[in-house]
Structure 1
Amino acid sequence: MPSLDRSATVAQIVTEHFVAARVFQKHQIDFCCHGDVTVAEACRDRPLDPEQVFAELEATIPASGPDASEDPRALSTAALVARIVDRHHGYLRRQLPFISPLVSKVARVHGARNDRLAAVADAFLELKEALEPHLDQEEEVLFPALVARRPDLEVVRRELETMHADHLAVGALLARIRALTDGFTTPEWGCNTYRVVMSELEALEADVLRHVHLENHVLMPRFARKEGASC
């Protein structure tokens, strides 16, 4: 495929090529809450070579380019909201209660060998308690406001501000869990449940980052423009 635009922001690259998210996740480059920077800027003051990151991105992105059927920008607001609820809210509603007892079990059984596991369990519980009401608020208040024939711009503005603040808090919790688990690493002595927990936590992080990216960089800008036009 042709070389990626070096002046594009991290968020723009993920919006154009959703598979790029896995490369940024691997390198802990925030493409959702702080994605309005270039790759070079994201690598600054870190042991990362921007050209190496671009090489990985270009190797990951299919030569045929993005799948038009998967481009969220082409969706109506109602269809985009439906995709978010079906794919990402549905995933979280299944996985949060599934992972929760496993994290607690691993902390209880292996806490003596890794004293950070208790902190992992606490951070996961905090994440769960932050996400579950966030999903409800979006589905019951924000999303209906966005798809209304005549959106109430004051309600939209208030709810989008709340959504963005929630996303920042969730991003910080995900970063804490990644740090506490050494990047979701299972030690040699770790049991199968330990491995499952690390795998599920990494998958959860990946899905939440993509979820937040869609809301911050595809959904939210549509209404930011409308608000600006109304002033």
Structure 2
Amino acid sequence: MSFKRFAFVGLVILLVLFSLACRTAETIAQLRATPQAPRTRVTRAPTRVSKPPTAAPEIMPTEITAVTDIPAPPTNPPPPAPSTKPPPAAPPTKKPAAPPPPKPTNTAPPASPTSQFKFRIQESRCGPNVRTYIEGFVYENNQPKNDVLVRISQGPDGQPDPNDDYRTGTDPRKGYFFQNIDSNAPHAGTWYLWIIDPGTQQRISEIAIVKTDAQRVEDTENS
């Protein structure tokens, strides 16, 4: 009897131990990490893509069509050619204006030279030469002057020629003198006339020069 009891107790202890062992193994199994399955490494073989051969393009025959309707060339005139004119010349440089000349001062006209002679020529003119003669008047202080000699000569300060000296007052007209050269026709010549003092026989006037023509000249504005 004691043996059976001892054997029962021993069996119970074994069961407990077994049971504990199972739980312990289970607990240990739970605590241990579950090993992961090894990752399969895939080795990729190099892929070679084969390019299909390119087909040569098919050459289509070009159809040539005769063109009969050719458009007319444009009628617009061609554009004008660019101007080839030279560039305008630069304007000349303006010179500064010259200053105006100084205005002349108002000076009195020079006095006429004082003649050394008492009588001067005042007027002389010519007329038609149907005949040839010289006439005139002698004035002193704007009054006709008698009793002076008027000489005619063919040279200055020469001798009387062709007539003698003419004394004023011989004619009724006071201060008048007359020298006849040709009473029938024109007579060419150059004549010199002046006044002589009858007392001293010295020239007391300027010399007047008179030219006469050989051909007849009518009474015109040019005569």
Structure (1/2) with the larger strand percentage: 2
Q: Same fold (TM over 0.5)?
A: no
Please identify the structure whose Cα radius of gyration is greater: 2
TM range (shorter): under 0.3
Using the size of structure 1 for normalisation, the TM-score is: 0.17
